[in-house]
Structure 1
Amino acid sequence: MAITDNATPENTLASNITQTLRDAIVCGDIEPGSKLSEPKLAKEYNVSRGPLREAIRRLESMKLVKYVPHGGARVITLELPQVIEIYHIREALEGKAAALAARNIDNEGISKLKELLVIAENHMAATGGAYIQAEADIDFHYCVIQASGNQMLIHTLCEELYYLVRMYRYKSSLQPSRSSQAFKEHQLLFQALEQKDEQLAELIMRKHIVRARENIEQQLLNN
């Protein structure tokens, strides 16, 4: 699959390669622990080694890739204790983000979240229950965090941890039973945000992430 360059600063060839590899890692097409072979990837995507190296460097900064001595660049493999740590961080920080979002969200933000719930419901109906996996401004969690208005929370959750979290959220989204429950929890959170109930919004978000963590723990223990 060839990747073409666009002559704009915002959409360079390295950016295109980064996005392609990032999505493949998040979705599991490139499995945890896999080696990112520059010759193989350059041939597969029909790109030169320079932009490819830059893309791998960016993936490293996203914490999706690490360099192993004598092993080159490999996709990160998170063990269960690390996953639990990340979800404990999410529980605390996203809970606070939800409370702040309830305080600060405007009508436009409420309309956006309502639209995302409709999109998710339609997707689940069309796919037999799989919850939609989208990123950035069409990701329900991402939009709630952005609505908090707290730049430190936004940086930590939407940049530093975002794609690590998406790797494991993606697995959970393929389970119809968890997808249905997660959607109901998003609906409850939306109602709390709409009512400007900070305490309820934080409580719902924290419980939502606890359930997600427990689900992922069970998945990893069964593998």
Structure 2
Amino acid sequence: MNVTAETLALRDEAQTPLSDTVFQQVLEAIHQGRLAPGSVVNEAALALEFGVSRGPVREAVRRLQGIQLVTREPYMKARVVALTAESALELFQMRMALEGVACNLAAQRMSDADIEQLIADLEQERQRQVRAEQGGAAGPKVFDFHERIVRASGNRRIIHALCADLYHLLRLYRRHSGTVLERKEDAFAEHWQIARAIKSRDVDLAESLMRSHIERAARHLFTHLAEDGVRPPSS
């Protein structure tokens, strides 16, 4: 195999922390909506924005392809994955099943101290959202409620399924389903209901509430996809 100088340079760059930094920057741009679903990933523009060479950006794009956030057809430019109703339906069906079970297990396995921390973080996140709605300095997100519940389940297979590479794609769809203020308020109230069920150790109620919460989020997402001209598939 003939290894060119350019290939060696790219390989060296990919092995440096710079590559990881650029990956995180592009990933955050996607999560924040600055790189919108379906938009072209302009490697030259990103390299200029981040003040780096094209190598780390190419590596970041390759990694984003690996976790299904970027697609690239032969002879076509890379694009942020487009949100489709069919993919959303499959992901939310999987979430209802796995997160429902995870919530059941979390209600059994979380310590009292962990539950109190969950409730405290939930309130802190709510205060952050209120500051943001009032135009104040909200600061970074406190925590991810769903990720906390999944990890608290202690089930390694569920954790791997929902918190590894697929987590970023799930987060992209979840962000799209929660962009409207009314849904954010409803989602927060539903999080509180789930947290209270966990605190009371009512495993069946906790599981049921989590499933219902995700189902409502799915319906909300499908409504927005329909408004964007994407027809939700029949379930």
TM bracket, shorter-chain basis: 0.7 to 0.9
Partner residue of 2:177? Answer: 172
Tell me which amino acid in the other structure corresponds to 1:216: L
Q: Distance in 2 between matches of 1:16 and 1:172?
A: 28
CA deviation profile, 1:138-169 (whole Å, cap 9, x unmatched): 11111000000011101111113211121122
Tell me which amino acid in the other structure corresponds to 1:207: S
Query: Aligned to 1:115, which of 108, 117, 120?
Result: 120
TM-score, structure 2 as length reference: 0.83
In the alignment, structure 2 segments of 5+ residues that lack a partner are 1-15, 229-235
Query: Aligned to 1:77, which of 70, 73, 82?
Result: 82
Q: Once the 2 structures are TM-superposed, how far is the Cα of residue 50 of structure 1 from its aligned partner? A: 2.1
Partner residue of 2:35? Answer: 30
Question: Secondary structure of 2:82's match?
Answer: coil
Cα-Cα RMSD: 2.3
Is 2:31–2:175's contact at 8 Å kept on the other side of the alignment? yes
Q: Once the 2 structures are TM-superposed, how far is the Cα of residue 185 of structure 1 from its aligned partner? A: 0.7
Q: Does 48-57 or 200-209 show the bigger shift? A: 48-57
Query: Aligned to 1:190, which of 183, 187, 195?
Result: 195
Q: Distance in 2 between matches of 1:62 and 1:25?
A: 13
Question: Secondary structure of 1:68's match?
Answer: coil
Q: Does 145-154 or 176-185 show the bigger shift? A: 176-185
Q: Distance in 1 between matches of 2:139 and 2:111?
A: 25
Is 1:33–1:74's contact at 8 Å kept on the other side of the alignment? yes
Task: Rate the CA distance shift 1:18–1:133 in 2: closer, same or farther, 3 A.
Answer: farther
Tell me which amino acid in the other structure corresponds to 1:204: L
Q: Residues 59-78 of structure 1 correspond to what in structure 2 (within 5 A)?
A: 59-78=64-83
Q: Once the 2 structures are TM-superposed, how far is the Cα of residue 133 of structure 1 from its aligned partner? A: 11
Is 1:32–1:77's contact at 8 Å kept on the other side of the alignment? yes
Q: Distance in 2 between matches of 1:120 and 1:16?
A: 26
Q: Distance in 1 between matches of 2:168 and 2:139?
A: 12
Partner residue of 2:163? Answer: 158
Q: Equivalent pairs: percent with the same residue?
A: 37
Q: Once the 2 structures are TM-superposed, how far is the Cα of residue 172 of structure 1 from its aligned partner? A: 3.2
Moved over 6 A (4+): 132-135
